[in-house]
Structure 1
């Protein structure tokens, strides 16, 4: 009998969207599901800080999920404009 190492969480993930703010040179993350807005200089930094920020938001808002492992889905978007070649 095989056992799966990966287990689905019974808690649905919180969807977080991150967009790159070109003017500020930071990734800005926010969620429509919880009142979360935060930023970081790199996507790696953002990914690292999200678990604690999510817990802080859940706790501050009296969410029943506070203190438990809450999965999240991070969706990133960055828009770039092609550079014109100068002859």
Structure 2
């Protein structure tokens, strides 16, 4: 599956911005039919980083993916590349 079809957009809230610094974790709105393994491989293909784990949640009709990066990668660096900061 195309990684751009799986990961739709970053989900930016105060909580997600805090988790970038504190937990090394990024939050994205993803395709509702995508499972955790598909989300993990799509994110690794797009950003060339190693993902430690993926948690998902459906909130207000949108599926959110909380993507925790491995310790050797920085979520803040990826956020800067995306233009979040």
The verdict on a shared fold, with TM-score over 0.5 as the criterion, is no
Structure with bigger strand share is 2
Structure with bigger helix share is 2
Max Rg structure: 1
TM-score, length-scaled by structure 1: 0.30
TM-score, length-scaled by structure 2: 0.30
